[in-house]
Structure 1
Amino acid sequence: MSMSFELSIDVSEPYDFNTQSLSKIQQNPWVKNQWPLVYFIQNEVMAEAYVGESTNAASRIKNHLANPVKAAVFNKISIIGSDKFNKSATLDIESNLIQYIAAEGTYKLQNGNSGLVNHNYYQQDLYKDLFKEIWKKLLDKKVVSKSLKEIENSELFKYSPYKSLNEDQYLSVLEILEGLTQNNSNSIFVRGSAGTGKTVVATYLLKLLATNILNTDVEEFNDDELREVNYIRNFQLKYPNAKIGLVVAMSSLRESLQQVFKQVPGLKPSMVISPSETFKSKEKYDLLIVDEAHRLRQYKNISWMGAFRQNNQKLGLGDNGNELDWIMANSRNQIFFYDEPQSVKPSDIAGIHFTKLLEDQGTIKLQLNSQMRVQGGENYIKFIDDLLNINREDKTVYRSANYELFYFDSLADLYTELGKKEQHYELCRMVAGYSWPWQSKNNKTAIDIEIDNLSFQWNQTDKDWVNSPNAFKEIGCIHTTQGYDLNYTGVIFGKEIDYNKNTDQIEIDPKQYFDINGKKGIASPADLKSYIINIYKTILYRGIKGSFVYACNPNLATYLKKHIPLFEKEPALRIIPFNQVKPYVNAVPLLDITAAAGNFSDLQIHADFEWVELPFNITPQKGYFVCKVVGESMNKRIPNGAYCLFRQDGGGSRNGKIVLIQSTAIQDADFGSGYTVKEYHSKKVVTDEGWQHNAISLKPLSDDLSYEAIELTEDELTDFKVVGVFERVLT
């Protein structure tokens, strides 16, 4: 049984944040009644802010005013209240506001990041809509300027140390902190498959340990949060002015994280370093946090052999030395985040090199389990692993209500569908195995990949390619996507990977694999196969919302289609020749909204329109007509460019229905003047002559909160007309 409630939220006008205004703040109804609420303290000029929540806001605000730092910096406070708030909801909304405001960029937050944890609670999904309403009000008041979608697609949001952790991650953080402060262990080893949030935990920890704990207000902290703060205090006492670094071997991800750290108070880009940069410090690092430790390198198949050898020589090591040795030698404590199945090149340190570390009784070993990236969850991760290792016991086709996985027989169709997702969500990219030479690296006009009469170049930058301007027109590879999140991924299985139906095995053709450093020196075909399968698994784990798959080799395509649902194009609407039209028997009129003035009342004159056949499961009825709906203002129900079935309005209540409206008072960004498709809401008054409209609100249903309702007052309703009521999307 689904439950809902009417969303209502109150964001107050800013109060002055000083002791003289305290009595006025205390008269705010939410403060006065000690209702659970969220508050936002700010200094617009200094672009500083603080987000908090409380069930006793009067006392909490007094404490803030008694804090000399906050009293000196902040000058305004806004109260966010709702009669639907409870303690769990305000904690969740506070956490979300911290995440989004930190990544939005208007303000620098003075909040620490301790205790940011997601908790499940009753009707949590409904409060997500309430948060969207809060954000819309903040946009309206110009407190913030970016939509939620813009923020969610930003690297600052994805890698922010203000991200809320799940229970699995938070418990691991507490164990790590305990290990750093109370145990004798110097090394902590955290395993986690793709999407379990290893990078998020790494940045969270670094921010946590770099924050001056003296400024942390613990008044309403729970036991775990107090424990967390005590661990941090002990670490900072043990290592005053601790020297901490985040080691990232992959240059593209490293540069992205440096850009993130540049925007986070208390962090610096110089904290994000390569393994070789651990030698630059005169003193040992107190702590090195190593993200993607499976990508640490050995003296093999790298382009900078001389510098690598010199670093080994500094430690008295021969050519068998590696970047793991450097980190161990140049730091007092280490935290490794590791996932061996994401090792994709022979230059990566083999798992055996970590054996000594793992066999050490003092090494703390932890595991991250919860899937945080892929909306298909752990079931999808296991499905892909079993699929590519020919290990599926369940032979049925993969289905998920939460994740879009499709196989495409045509790359052209895949690219078209991915383009639709790119328009809607952004951050949708094509990624392929290294089955084509990179000719455009030296010849910028060269075409690298040609399939289905489509021509592409490989990624034209190896630095932050997923966010580069032309990324959607190019094809990326493992080296430009590993460590990044995408909304949808188009995955091309190249000519180097095939399926042998006789042996029921994946096979690799080394001649069709063009990553020179990815195969040089590999004597064992099984090792090369393992690397290439890891590559495809890793890129299939990039898509948050879905993955679209295409295979160049027919045998592999046949195998994949047995397990992955086949994409089926929606048939285009068929226009029936005029001499075959039987109005409302075999066809309904197709109307162009922008050219429809005056025609809606004359739908029976069938010669004026093109007529289209409806899908077989819809019976034509008099009054039905089809229109193309453009724009994103209704994208929760109607995709941009969709052809939709409407029926002529027959009167009666339209409240809450999606309608096509005609009025000279309407100026719609998507439809132009005169027309709009929106959700209808009216306010009526009773007169001696019956009821009449007092005002009408036409509301968008969009993920893009920049769309606003169209409000029409009584004097704007003279030529207002409901032309049609939405029935369904056709294509």
Structure 2
Amino acid sequence: MINDFSSSIEIYSYKFSQKGSKEFFLNPFMANSWPVVYIIKNDASREAYIGESTNAINRMKNHLSNNDRKRLNEVVVIGCDKFNKSAVLDIESLLIGYMDADKNYTLQNGNAGMVDHNYYQKSIYRNLFKEVWEMLRYKKFAKNPIDRLDNSDFFKYSPYKSLTVDQHNSLLEILNQINAKERNTIFIEGSAGTGKTVLAVYLMKLITTDIQDHNIDDSDEIYSEQLSRVIEFKKKYPQPKAALVVPMTSLRNTLKKVFRGVKGLAANMVIGPTEVSRNEYDILLVDEAHRLRQRIGLTSYGSFDQANKLLGFDKYQGTELDWILKQSKNQIFFYDEDQSIKPTDIDKERFQNLKTRHDQNITLVSQLRVKGGTDYINFVDDLLHCRLEDGDGPFESEHYELKIYSSLKEMHKNLLEKEKQYGLCRMLAGYSWPWESKNNESAYDIEIDGMKFKWNTTNNDWINSENAINEIGCIHTSQGYDLNYCGIIFGNEIKYNPETNEIEIDASEYYDKKGKQGIKSPEVLKEYIINIYKTMMLRGIKGTYIYVYDENLRESFSQIID
């Protein structure tokens, strides 16, 4: 079937001008109002606009009257006699996302109405898109192969990602609440991989883009509800003062890089919590809000105390959450209490009180990262809380690979094989080894099975660093990121007591000093450490490999993991 489809794909090029528009009538698809996808571009300025239409000739007339589009001089029309309206909407959406990530052109597109939807033979058309992409690469309209783009941060965090129904409904509710009230405190909750960061980036692009730049075809009813609420929002905030707050330095720098490459966005729209104290905002979107800090166990207090003083808070009581609430009319917190991992994180009780008081809470449930879906998410939660029995395992999925190893050499060997096949395969571990190599470059930190490894040699974008496959990362260098396969070492700080059927923590084997500073309750420390391992076990898109240091815990896991 796919060969029949791909053999009928046609790509045409025309001058994009009033004179060139006469040639549009010679195109068999455009002249007969057949659904097409098109790219209007200028190779000199490296700008492009991507669209679709069943009335492409009229759409070109509209584009020719648009000031931004007038800077473009060539239109590429993609036609196929197997296209239908649903197919071209899908292909248009994919093309925008991949061309944005490819960075061969800067896109003029807005992102209103980019919603994923099902339709007949969708899987066939998704494969057809790969054929279209290769044809565009052959004609030098695109540079990178799809599998390389799939692993890129530009694609993973693109504001042009199509939203799931789950995300789209959440977006409509966010806009509803902001349009209806002067001040809002909204929580978007969901476990790892439910698309919180993607939704945050999408929303930043949506609310900062001028209405005319969305350039929606009035006949596309699928867009109308979202666009009408954006129009209402723009009446209230024509040029909103907005920022995306990201507490973690590495993820913040990654998102700055993404924003720098998107028309209408800028790196300075992505800020750290301390920067909030310097300006007032109409809207603050706070990603990974569970990592906002209080004044406990910080590495340095200078900038933290200065922000508290500037905003009039007691230096011991004021928190990054307080700064955000004071400096913005509307706050949208993307939050998961199960990803709070150390005592510097603001207590979940504080967030709970805030949620109860404002009652503007939205939940994301669709699993977008882990191919094992919600079954795997629930399995991991039950596994780490010892709620599984012999009869409950092993976890099985044709879409996800979960394996436990008795040999770290074998796990690393398999991970290297997956790295060659897919890329973005990394090893992570709990804090069960001191960071000796931090002050001694010749030292190794972790030695198991005769193998020696260093902790991550960089904190900034370690996931994409050159030698990452031969190093071991931690929660701080991986939280918020996607991996294809993740190998996880359960260290000697986490053990299993077969008599009580409970996980126990050995604080003396836990070497994150700031991660346990001021904690008096063993149960609180246990909760943080379990959250660390749970968060790491939800990094892998295609699979998770596990090596367990403690014999009892390894034996327990082996009963319910292959």
TM-score range, shorter chain: over 0.9
- Aligned: 1:444 with 2:429: no
Deviating more after overlay: 304-313 vs 370-379: 304-313
**1:574-723 paired onto structure 2 within 5 Å:** none
What's the CA shift for 1:181? Answer: 1.2
What's the CA shift for 1:184? Answer: 4.3
Counterpart in 2 of 1:315?
A: 311
Taking the aligned partners of 2:294 and 2:503, their CA distance within structure 1 comes to 28
Deviating more after overlay: 57-66 vs 435-444: 57-66
353, 361, 364: which is aligned to 1:365?
361
Letter in 1 for 2:434: P
- Aligned: 1:126 with 2:124: yes
**1:77-92 paired onto structure 2 within 5 Å:** 77-92=75-90
336, 339, 359: which is aligned to 1:339?
336
More helix as a share of residues? 2
369, 373, 376: which is aligned to 1:377?
373
245, 248, 253: which is aligned to 2:246?
248
Counterpart in 1 of 2:537?
A: 540
**Overall identity of the aligned pairs, in %:** 50
What's the CA shift for 1:218? Answer: 2.7
Give the TM-score normalised by structure 1.
Answer: 0.75
Residue pair 2:277, 2:311 contacting (<8 A) in 1 also? no
449, 456, 476: which is aligned to 2:453?
456
Residue pair 1:405, 1:564 contacting (<8 A) in 2 also? yes
Deviating more after overlay: 406-415 vs 8-17: 8-17
What's the CA shift for 1:65? Answer: 1.6
Taking the aligned partners of 2:220 and 2:375, their CA distance within structure 1 comes to 33
500, 504, 517: which is aligned to 1:503?
500
Taking the aligned partners of 1:509 and 1:289, their CA distance within structure 2 comes to 37
- Aligned: 1:389 with 2:389: no
**1:264-283 paired onto structure 2 within 5 Å:** 264-281=262-279
What's the CA shift for 1:307? Answer: 2.8
What's the CA shift for 1:330? Answer: 0.8
Taking the aligned partners of 2:385 and 2:244, their CA distance within structure 1 comes to 33
Unaligned 5+ segments in structure 2 are none
478, 482, 504: which is aligned to 2:479?
482
Counterpart in 2 of 1:177?
A: 175
Counterpart in 2 of 1:559?
A: 556
SS of 1:241 mapped into structure 2 = coil
What's the CA shift for 1:222? Answer: 4.0
Q: Deviations over 1:230-264 (max 9, x none)?
A: 32233222223221010011011011111111101
Taking the aligned partners of 2:561 and 2:183, their CA distance within structure 1 comes to 46
Residues 223 and 141 (structure 1), Cα distance of their counterparts in 2 relative to 1, 3 Å cut: closer
Unaligned 5+ segments in structure 1 are 566-731
Name segments (4+ residues, structure 1) moved above 3 Å: 220-224
- Aligned: 1:325 with 2:322: yes
SS of 2:188 mapped into structure 1 = strand
Letter in 2 for 1:20: K
Counterpart in 2 of 1:681?
A: none
What's the CA shift for 1:315? Answer: 3.1
123, 138, 141: which is aligned to 1:140?
138
Counterpart in 2 of 1:258?
A: 256
Residue pair 1:11, 1:137 contacting (<8 A) in 2 also? no
What's the CA shift for 1:55? Answer: 1.3
Counterpart in 1 of 2:157?
A: 159
What's the CA shift for 1:396? Answer: 2.2
Taking the aligned partners of 2:306 and 2:32, their CA distance within structure 1 comes to 68
Q: Deviations over 1:634-683 (max 9, x none)?
A: xxxxxxxxxxxxxxxxxxxxxxxxxxxxxxxxxxxxxxxxxxxxxxxxxx
Counterpart in 2 of 1:106?
A: 104
Taking the aligned partners of 2:216 and 2:454, their CA distance within structure 1 comes to 54
Taking the aligned partners of 1:415 and 1:77, their CA distance within structure 2 comes to 49
Taking the aligned partners of 1:12 and 1:117, their CA distance within structure 2 comes to 25
What's the CA shift for 1:5? Answer: 6.2
Taking the aligned partners of 1:55 and 1:203, their CA distance within structure 2 comes to 30
Counterpart in 1 of 2:94?
A: 96
Residue pair 1:179, 1:185 contacting (<8 A) in 2 also? no
Counterpart in 1 of 2:15?
A: 16
Counterpart in 1 of 2:427?
A: 430
Residue pair 1:41, 1:74 contacting (<8 A) in 2 also? yes
Letter in 1 for 2:169: L
Kindly name which structure, 1 or 2, has the bigger radius of gyration based on alpha carbons. 1
Residue pair 2:108, 2:213 contacting (<8 A) in 1 also? no
Taking the aligned partners of 2:103 and 2:68, their CA distance within structure 1 comes to 22
**1:283-322 paired onto structure 2 within 5 Å:** 284-318=280-314, 319-322=316-319
What's the CA shift for 1:185? Answer: 4.4
Q: RCO higher in 1 or 2 (8 Å CA, sep ≥ 6)?
A: 2
Counterpart in 2 of 1:55?
A: 54
Letter in 2 for 1:62: K
Taking the aligned partners of 1:35 and 1:369, their CA distance within structure 2 comes to 37
Residues paired across the two proteins, number: 559
SS of 2:437 mapped into structure 1 = helix
What's the CA shift for 1:356? Answer: 3.1
Letter in 1 for 2:48: A
Q: Deviations over 1:106-136 (max 9, x none)?
A: 0011110111111011111111110000011
Deviating more after overlay: 3-12 vs 415-424: 3-12
Residue pair 2:453, 2:470 contacting (<8 A) in 1 also? yes
- Aligned: 1:513 with 2:487: no
Give the TM-score normalised by structure 2.
Answer: 0.97
**1:232-247 paired onto structure 2 within 5 Å:** 232-247=230-245
Taking the aligned partners of 1:429 and 1:26, their CA distance within structure 2 comes to 53
Counterpart in 2 of 1:30?
A: 29
What's the CA shift for 1:456? Answer: 0.3
Taking the aligned partners of 1:6 and 1:411, their CA distance within structure 2 comes to 47
Taking the aligned partners of 2:397 and 2:293, their CA distance within structure 1 comes to 37
What's the CA shift for 1:83? Answer: 1.9
Residue pair 1:51, 1:111 contacting (<8 A) in 2 also? yes
SS of 2:392 mapped into structure 1 = coil
What's the CA shift for 1:13? Answer: 3.5
387, 399, 403: which is aligned to 2:400?
403
Counterpart in 1 of 2:350?
A: 353
SS of 1:19 mapped into structure 2 = coil
SS of 2:41 mapped into structure 1 = strand
Residue pair 1:247, 1:288 contacting (<8 A) in 2 also? yes
Deviating more after overlay: 91-100 vs 55-64: 55-64
SS of 1:53 mapped into structure 2 = strand
Taking the aligned partners of 2:18 and 2:311, their CA distance within structure 1 comes to 60
Residue pair 2:111, 2:214 contacting (<8 A) in 1 also? no
SS of 1:544 mapped into structure 2 = strand
Counterpart in 1 of 2:525?
A: 528
Residues 171 and 148 (structure 1), Cα distance of their counterparts in 2 relative to 1, 3 Å cut: same
Counterpart in 1 of 2:39?
A: 40
What's the CA shift for 1:4? Answer: 6.1
What's the CA shift for 1:306? Answer: 3.4
